[in-house]
Amino acid sequence: MYLEGDLLSFLVQVAGTALGDPVGNDAFYVFFDTDGSPATGYQVQALGVEYVAEVLGGSGRVESSRLFEFPANAELNWSRRAAVAGVPAAASGSTLELRVSTDDFAS
């Protein structure tokens, strides 16, 4: 992860091909616990996640990439998320890059 101004950049390296499934069923998720409370948001292990960046694709290509927000009482309900913004993302060989603007996190 690299922070430059309000942009969080992520570089993911995998064995094989990033988003390499030929039928387009691969996904990467980056979870954000923006309030630091495990009691709020979507429950992921010991985190209470308010936002998730989702990158979907296949055959080494990004098909969609978005940032979603969870309500405070989402608990384990993945379907309670709502799209907030697009997320620039690209895949090449064994790497995936994505960038999230912290301006998209509600204060």
- Alpha-carbon distance values, 73 to 33, 46, 52 (Å): 14, 15, 15
Q: Which two tokens stand for residue 6?
A: 């309000």
60-104 per-position pLDDT tens digit: 999 999 999 999 999 999 999 999 999 999 999 999 999 999 999
pLDDT surpasses 80 at 24? no
SS (HEC) of the chain:
CEEECCEEEEEEECCCCCCCCCCCCEEEEEEECCCCCCCCCEEECCEEECEEEEEEEECCEEEEEEEEECCCCCECCHHHCEEEEECCEEEECCEEEEEEEHHHCCC
CA atoms within 13 A on the CB side of 25: 2
Q: What's the CA gap between 99 and 86, in Å, rounded? A: 10
pTM: 0.93
Q: What is the pLDDT of residue 29?
A: 97
Residue pair 30/107 in contact by the 8 Å Cβ criterion = no
